[in-house]
Amino acid sequence: MAAPISVPVGSGNDKETKTGKVVKKLDDVKDTPENKAAIAEADGKVEDAPKGVPTAQKASAKADKVGKVKEEKKVESKPAVTKPVKKEKKVEAKVELEREYVVPLKRGVLNAPHYRRAKKAVKVLKEFIVKHMQVRDRDLNKVKVDINLNNEIWFRGIKKPMNKIKVKAKKIDGIVYVELAEIPAYVGFKIAREARKKAESEKANVKAPKKAEKKVEEDADKDGVADKTEEKEDVKAGGEMDAKTEKSMAKNVQHTATGVHAKKTMPVRKSLKK
């Protein structure tokens, strides 16, 4: 007898049946809303939303979220209590040294020619201050002479400077400022006048420019043109008419028989008629 034929368990028919079932299951899973939402999220079309929510609701949720973000950007956070701004205090420089001197100028000036003596006097003054005010390296550029003191030295001209002068020196941050110790009356008046001018100029700069007020011009005719402008135009037109009439009359006179010379007469010499 022939032996019975045994069919293997994992045959091709079984494979076909199994693959058919798997395909059906995949089709069923694709149609579910959860799978569609996952695909949309992967593409970046819709943001994350809770499971079981349809795609239309997810889109509306995304729009609401974007609107809230925009509103948050518009509203800027402001502190509840604003701190007052502290004004910086001006720190005045400390005067290191302050002294008064009567500076002799004649001995140093005599060595210079007459046409340079006032310049030499200023240099002698600086050398004296550098020596007595303990200026580092004896640098003359660190001595600042006041304009009124300079004018006082030059008062009698370049050839005849003062023999001596009383000054007040202040040393601030290594620089010495020299000015007159005793200010004459006329110099005091000059300083006061300059200070007053400076204050007036500052006030003028601070004042805001006034806006020109528009004057409402009267218009009796209510034709859109002001009465003053109408009067000016009438005067102008009248002057033009007068000029035209005068010109026409002058032309007519020129073309007459007598002409322009009707009123003029030539002098007659009686001696020639004899």
| Spatial separation of the C-alpha atoms in residues 113 and 105, rounded to whole Å | 14
pLDDT of residue 80: 61
pLDDT of residue 78: 62
From the options 3.10.440.10, 3.40.50.970, 3.55.40.20, 3.60.70.12, give the CATH code of 98-186: 3.10.440.10
pLDDT of residue 95: 84
| Spatial separation of the C-alpha atoms in residues 126 and 202, rounded to whole Å | 34
Residue with tokens 């995304």: 62
pLDDT of residue 243: 85
Per-residue pLDDT 10s for the chain (274 aa) are 445 554 444 444 444 455 555 555 666 666 777 777 777 777 765 444 444 545 555 556 665 665 665 555 555 556 666 666 666 666 677 888 999 999 999 999 999 999 999 999 999 999 999 999 989 888 999 999 999 999 999 999 999 999 999 999 999 999 999 999 999 999 999 999 999 999 999 888 876 556 555 555 566 666 666 677 777 887 788 788 888 888 888 877 766 655 555 555 666 666 655 5
The domain locations on the chain are: 98-186
The residue type at 40:
A
pLDDT of residue 24: 57
